[in-house]
Amino acid sequence: MRRRRWPVADPNTTPYVGRAMKRIEDPRLIRGEGTYTDDLRLPGMVHAAILRSPHAHARIRKIDTTAAKAIPGVVAVLTGADVNASCGLVPCAAAIPDLKAPKHTVLAGDRVYFVGHAVAVAVASDPYIARDAIEAIDVDYDPLPVVTNAEDAVKIGSPLTHPDLGSNVAYTHNVSGGGNIDEAFRKADRIVKHRLYHQRLTPMPIEPRGVVASYHTGEGTLTLWTATQIPHLIRTLLPGMIGVPENKMRIVAPEVGGGFGAKLNVYPEEALIAHLAMRLHTPVKWIESRRDNAAATIHGRDQVGEYEVAVKNDGTILGLKSKTIADLGSYLQLLTPAVPTLTGLVLTGCYTIPAVKMEIVGVYTNKMATDAYRGAGRPEATYLIERLMDVVAQELKIDRLDLRLKHFPAPGDFPFPTSCGLVYDSGNYAAALTKAKQLANWDQLLKDRAAARAAGKLSGIGVSTYVEICAMGPSKAMPAGGWEWGCVRMEISAKVTVITGVSPHGQGQETTFAQIVADRVGVPIEDVVILHGDTSVAHYGRDTYGSRGTAVGGTAIVMCIDKMIAKAKTLAAHLFETTSDHVVFENGRFTSPGVTNRVITWPELAGEFYVAKNLPPGLEPGLEASSFFEPQNFTFPFGTHICAVDLDRDTGHVKITKYVAVDDCGPQINPLIVEGQVQGGIAHSIGQVLFEQTIYNEDGQLVTGEFMDYAIPRAHDIPDYILGSTVTPSPINPLGVKGVGEAGTIGATPAIANAVMDALEPLGITHMNLPMTPEKVWQAIKTKT
């Protein structure tokens, strides 16, 4: 039976860290008082609507905007010819050698390359009229040949997505590591081959994207509110597009209604709407429709690969070869070509695999760009290694858990260098597996499956033991700096203002950071305010993605606190008439045992710092510290997920009957929030394994452009979870935390898929592409019975 694992903590009990506290951000959100981008109303604000291509590939012969301009209330109707020269090129930050990249303008030039490609923009006094206006724009298209399948796109004679590039291949990326791969394959008793497909997915945050821009002509300053995960990266990259210098640009991420990677980007609309505000001298708002969100916000995954595992008959894995074709879509967004290469980084999963070789071919097609979607590269890698472990176990007829255990590094092997070139920070993979088995009541689960099978039912159990890469990351491994910045200021009133460079949008860092700060500074949690998401407040930052917020951003704040306390001790020592090394700081109180009985508290000390009448020589007034934290490595959370399913033979319907997840993200600041992240992540996997898929037809038409045709999980799709954790601190940061934002999605996809395949195994079915829809399951059963 299900029970609440985390009684909500009494807010007056300390320490705060480690306890399930209610979120500080919630009261405004549950009252409907949060301000999302679409909630902004500025004086004189006008509304933009974007006309998008209905063709996947076409030459634009002519655009006639006359009728649109004549509609009362229309302020402007502009095309690529009008704006592209002022908006620069949409940036890609990924550094891939020999990358062939098309020029990506904010509106189409003389061609469109995918359905949803922005062709023209209309600005009007209200959004209804703007919509009327784009409908009145007449575009004369000359359709061109289309390629929508990446495997077809690399064949000779395929239509070219960008004829000027001469090929659909954007890049070929080779990773090899560890020992000699050819030797590994020579020594193998057996080569196990498998083909795996990661379908295209649409992230579908419930809030679509949106941008509001306001330009102060006199000052030459631009303020841009945008539904983004990365206000700081936009502030770094947008100046190069629109010509407003970085220090005259303020980017604000207000409340952001979900990201999942879809808002980890610099989009054409951000430059376009900024440009319109400058050009029209009035604030401009653009809010994406769901249909446009499905068509013109990044997609995820879309990789297909052939994999070969070299094994000995006793199950020892000698090597792994893979060839992956990654469908990039028609353009490079911020990290498009980098995402498939992340797959290569954790290809070996949590196993000792002595030699690896991976080839990744990034391919252009007439579709929306793919980019980082929840997990970005790690779900792909985890799915393939975890499916392969099951396939190997099945072919060799050895127990799949034994096979996994045999290849786990031991706890003493950490830091553990992998053949993919990473060094895993810490781990105890067997402990997580053991705990998951306990929680799942593993032996009973096997008995239940046997009984179900004996009764003619299709029942399966899936396991996934995963490791992922979080806390992104060391700057030398990141495209544009992986550090994080923070600032902690004690105000004269002894209230604590914390400014972070991460940009949470649901992850709850206003709460978790306040827990950390309140404990370390020794103040009540209600005296702590966390500010974020506004580059005029948080001057520097690298924002929120890659499960980095707490591990990297939280650490920057811890560093600030340490500096602030050190400074406070200097003043306390001065007031105690002693030296800093004789000052003890504990629970918000400064004392100097053996020197004086006096106790100095924060209010007194803060007052002294700002009144500044009694500071020792050389000590600056004010009590504030800022820090940049540069992580020396990534962190590597891990865990075990176990899933049991029953299949309906007649309808192909998959029912999840049990779901157990044990995740080790290091020490948990707030277990309630960790639980929420894991549950949310698993839901994405339920969608991916069982029904979600972005479909373009052979003409390149997007046929999953609305929630009518693109299914995301609903409440009744969710099983009761049994969640657990182990705690293996990371040595990479002083909090020991690893990150948990993507763990659910990384661990769950293979667990669920393996469960379905396990259910089908008695029928001799060994392969099925994702998603494992009822029809596919039914077809598979039908062909075998």
Total of residues contacting other proteins (CB under 8 A): 93
Asked if 8 is part of the footprint of other proteins (rule: CB under 8 A), the reply reads yes
Tell me which residue has tokens 């394994």.
689
CB closer to other proteins, 611 vs 703:
703
Q: How far is the CB of 30 from other proteins (least distance, A)?
A: 4
Residue whose entry in the numeric block shows the structure tokens 């340490």: 562
What backbone torsions phi and psi does residue 549 show, to the nearest 5 degrees? -50, -60
Q: Which of 128, 446, 526, 577 binds other proteins (CB under 8 A)?
A: 128
Residue 354, Cβ neighbours under 10 Å: how many?
A: 19
Rounded alpha-carbon distances, angstroms, from residue 266 to 152, 334, 533, 580? 29, 6, 15, 47
Q: How far is the CB of 680 from other proteins (least distance, A)?
A: 4
Strands (DSSP E) along 53-184, which ranges?
Answer: 58-64, 74-79, 111-112, 118-124, 138-143, 169-178
- What residues contact 747, with CB distance under 8 A and at least 6 apart? 382, 464, 466, 468, 639, 640, 641, 661, 663, 681, 682, 685
How far apart are alpha carbons 114 and 23 in whole angstroms? 41
Region of 47 (left: φ > 0; alpha: ψ -120 to 50; beta: rest) is beta
Nearest distance from residue 766's CB to other proteins, in Å?
22
DSSP letter string over 443-484? HHHHHHHHHHHHTT-EEEEEEEEEE--BS---GGGSTT---E
**Using CB under 8 A, which residues numbered 188 to 207 contact other proteins?**
203-207
User: Smallest distance, Å, CB 386 to other proteins?
Assistant: 20
Q: Does 295 bind other proteins (CB under 8 A)?
A: yes
Secondary structure (DSSP) of 637-700: -EEEEEEEEEE-TTT--EEEEEEEEEEE-SS-S-HHHHHHHHHHHHHHHHHHHHT----B-TT-
Residue 527 in the binding site for other proteins (CB under 8 A):
no
Which among 71, 23, 76, 30 has a CA at the least distance from the CA of 49? 76
Helix or strand (DSSP H, E) at 614: none
Binding range to other proteins, per CB under 8 A, among 177-185, 284-292, 513-521, 752-760: 284-292
Shortest Å distance, C-beta 127 to other proteins: 6
* 554-593 positions binding other proteins, by CB under 8 A: none
Task: Name which of residues 11 to 30 contact other proteins (CB under 8 A).
Answer: 22-23, 25-27, 29-30
Residue 68 C-beta: closest distance to other proteins, Å: 13
Q: Which of 375, 379, 744, 747 binds other proteins (CB under 8 A)?
A: 744
Q: Is 179 in the site for other proteins (CB under 8 A)?
A: no
CB 295, min distance to other proteins, A:
8
Kindly list the distances between the CA atom of residue 195 and the CA atoms of 147, 316, 782, in Å, as whole numbers in the listed order.
22, 21, 22
Q: Which is nearer to other proteins, 577 or 709 (CB)?
A: 709
Q: Based on CB atoms, which residue is closest to other proteins, 399 or 709? A: 709
Find the binder of other proteins among 11, 18, 411, 676 (CB under 8 A): 676
- In angstroms, give the least distance from the CB of 29 to other proteins: 3
Please tell me whether residue 99 binds other proteins under the rule CB under 8 A.
no
Q: How far is the CB of 53 from other proteins (least distance, A)?
A: 9
Here's the x/- map for other proteins, 624-663, by CB under 8 A: it reads as --------------------------xx-x----------
In the complex with other proteins, the residue whose CB is nearer, 695 or 763, is 695
Q: Are 524 and 508 in contact (CB under 8 A)?
A: no
Among 409, 681, 739, 750, binds other proteins (CB under 8 A): 681
Binding region for other proteins (CB under 8 A) out of 289-297, 311-319, 532-540, 584-592: 289-297
Q: Which token pair is 33? A: 């008082």
Contact call for residue 515 and other proteins (CB under 8 A)? no
Joined together, the tokens standing for residue 218 give 């006199």
Q: Cβ neighbours of residue 774 under 8 Å, at least 6 residues apart?
A: 648, 651, 652, 653, 654
Reference 127, options 54, 47, 42; nearest CA is: 47
CA distance 179 to 418: 11
Q: Does 70 bind other proteins (CB under 8 A)?
A: no
Q: Which of 69, 279 has the CB closer to other proteins?
A: 69
Name which position in 12, 31, 98, 476 contacts other proteins (CB under 8 A). Answer: 31
Asked whether position 506 contacts other proteins by CB under 8 A, the answer is yes
Q: Is 85 in the site for other proteins (CB under 8 A)?
A: no
Evaluate whether 530 touches 500 at the Cβ level (below 8 Å).
yes
Distance, first Cα to last Cα, the chain: 36
Q: Which of 723, 675, 751 is nearest to 465 (CA)?
A: 751
Q: Which of 60, 253, 662, 702 binds other proteins (CB under 8 A)?
A: 702
Asked if 232 is part of the footprint of other proteins (rule: CB under 8 A), the reply reads no
List residues bridging with 484 in a β-sheet.
Answer: 629
* Binding segment toward other proteins, per CB under 8 A, in 296-304, 316-324, 325-333, 502-510: 502-510
Give yes or no for residue 706 binding other proteins (CB under 8 A): yes
Q: Least distance from C-beta 718 to other proteins, angstroms?
A: 5
Secondary structure element (H or E) that encloses residue 205, with its range: none
Output the smallest distance, CB 4 to other proteins, in A: 7
Q: Does 88 bind other proteins (CB under 8 A)?
A: no
State the minimum distance, in angstroms, from the CB of residue 676 to other proteins. Answer: 5
Our CB check for other proteins shows the closer of 69 and 131 to be 131
**Cis omega (within 30 of 0) for bond into 473:** yes
> Is position 694 an interface residue for other proteins (rule: CB under 8 A)?
no
Angle at 733 between CA 747 and CA 262, to 5 degrees: 45
Near other proteins in 420-479, by CB under 8 A: none
Interhelix angle 602-611/555-576, nearest 10 degrees:
80
Q: Does 82 interact with other proteins (rule: CB under 8 A)?
A: no
**Cα 563–230–99 angle (5° rounding)?**
115
Contact with other proteins (CB under 8 A) among 597, 715, 764, 785: 715
Q: Which of 483, 598, 492 is nearest to 548 (CA)?
A: 483
Told to check if 344 binds other proteins by CB under 8 A, we report no
Site for other proteins in 107-126 (CB under 8 A): 115
List binders of other proteins among 754-783 (CB under 8 A): 773-775, 778-779
144, 138, 142: which is closest to 63 by C-alpha? 138
Q: Which range of residues in 127-135, 579-587, 617-625, 757-765 is near other proteins by CB under 8 A?
A: 127-135
Q: Of 315-323, 401-409, 583-591, 716-724, which part binds other proteins (CB under 8 A)? A: 716-724
Q: Please identify which residue in 11, 36, 316, 595 interacts with other proteins, judged by CB under 8 A.
A: 36
Among 154, 169, 398, 711, binds other proteins (CB under 8 A): 711
**Secondary structure string (H, E, C) spanning 565-602:** HHHHHHHHHHHHCCCHHHCEEECCEEEECCCEEEEEEH
